[in-house]
Amino acid sequence: MSRGRALLWAVLGPTLCGLLVAGLITAGWLAIGRPDPLSGETWLRVEQVTGGASYTATPGQPLFFLVVGNDFRPNGPGGMRGDSIHLVGVSPTLGTATVLGFPRDLAVPIPGSGTDKINAANQLGGLQLTTETVSQLVGVPIPYAVQTDFDGFIAMIDEMGGIDINIPVSMHDPDAGSDFEPGPRHLTGDEALRFSRDRHSLPNGDIGRSENQGLLIISALATLQAQGGPPTRALTLLGILARHAELQGVNLAQFYGFARLAFSLNPAAIRNVVTPTGGGSGSNLSLGAGAQALFQDFRDDATLQTH
């Protein structure tokens, strides 16, 4: 570079960089909108549940998110039980991830409430208590949690254009409204809810339902990636979510970081595992013999080496 050009860049460089950053922030703001529900309809709650938590892609340090789907719907049964509970562990360094599911009838210690079904934690103390319960059970810090309900789940998937998924088995459950044959299928929001609620037509009941819910999470990521990569698609996705999200302790920079991290993963390489269960009375299942070994394998780097 000539001396004249170098001098010109020294004078104008900081200004141009500042304009570029300002332009990106403005473009992101226009695409994303305010981090408040603008339509009056909230689809999901995104919450920092551990004080002082922040997202940093530290080498060797995994990041854990709790994803909860509760059973609230208008004119439905009272309460907001956590009927879909999945702990997502991501290793930014390794580029790997694991989705660990918890059957809703699994009996576990709930802080301050003795032992109960794991889905009762959400009804007793909301997202905070559910996260604390899972964190204590698995032995990992969980700084962030996401929660949605029936209506929010349907609206969110429909707005994103549906989900492409490979139905694993024949599913015909009148209670859940499922009516699917095995094979590739594009699901609307309502169909995705029916798929995720089915347990009566599955060979292993609620265990299979938890596995299917994990499959749905991974399939949603694969569908979004197929529509286009970051940064354009990430901003579009954030625009959809931020307009209908209640953010608690999470800012847009963190939100965008999560989206970039998700888009960096290969959905085909994400493990989908359900916590092993043992015996139990009624619908209260105990932890299975291999549960603690699974948790130990999972907690160090969110990657399963021996499972």
At residue 86's C-alpha, the angle toward residues 273 and 213, to 5°, is: 70
Q: Which residues contact 174 (CB under 8 A, 6 or more apart)?
A: 200
Query: Per-residue pLDDT averaged across 11-39, rounded?
Result: 36
Q: What is the pLDDT of residue 250?
A: 79
Is 138 domain-assigned? yes
pLDDT, tens digit (0-9, with 9 covering 90-100), for 240-265: 766 776 667 877 777 777 877 888 89
Judge whether residue 201 has pLDDT over 80.
Answer: yes
pLDDT, tens digit (0-9, with 9 covering 90-100), for 33-86: 444 444 447 777 778 887 544 545 455 689 999 999 877 655 555 567 788 999
Is 49 domain-assigned? yes
Is 5 domain-assigned? no
Tokens of 196: 């995720």
Q: Coil, strand or helix: which one is 100?
A: strand
- Of 36-40, 151-155, 226-230, 278-282, the range with the lowest mean pLDDT is 36-40
Q: What is the pLDDT of residue 56?
A: 55
DSSP for 135-173 reads HHHHT----EEEEE-HHHHHHHHHHTT-EEEEE-S-EEE
- Separation between Cα atoms, residue 130 and residue 82, nearest integer Å: 8
Query: Per-residue pLDDT averaged across 212-219, rounded?
Result: 95
pTM above 0.85, yes or no: no
pLDDT, tens digit (0-9, with 9 covering 90-100), for 134-192: 999 999 999 999 888 888 888 889 988 899 999 999 999 999 999 999 999 999 999 99
Q: Coil, strand or helix: which one is 224?
A: helix
Judge whether residue 212 has pLDDT over 50.
Answer: yes
Q: What is the pLDDT of residue 218?
A: 95
161: left (phi over 0), alpha (psi -120 to 50) or beta: left
Residue 142 sits in which domain range? 38-299
Is 24 domain-assigned? no
- Separation between Cα atoms, residue 145 and residue 294, nearest integer Å: 21
Q: What is the pLDDT of residue 54?
A: 52
Q: Which residues contact 202 (CB under 8 A, 6 or more apart)?
A: 169, 171, 208, 209, 212
Per the structure, the count of domains in the chain is 1
Q: What is the pLDDT of residue 231?
A: 59
Is 16 domain-assigned? no
CATH of the domain at 270: 3.40.630.190
Is 283 domain-assigned? yes
Q: What is the pLDDT of residue 113?
A: 92
Judge whether residue 26 has pLDDT over 50.
Answer: no
Is 144 domain-assigned? yes
The residue with tokens 């996260």 is 131
Q: What is the pLDDT of residue 155?
A: 87
Is 59 domain-assigned? yes
Q: At what angle do helices 189-197 and 205-226 cross, to 10 degrees?
A: 150
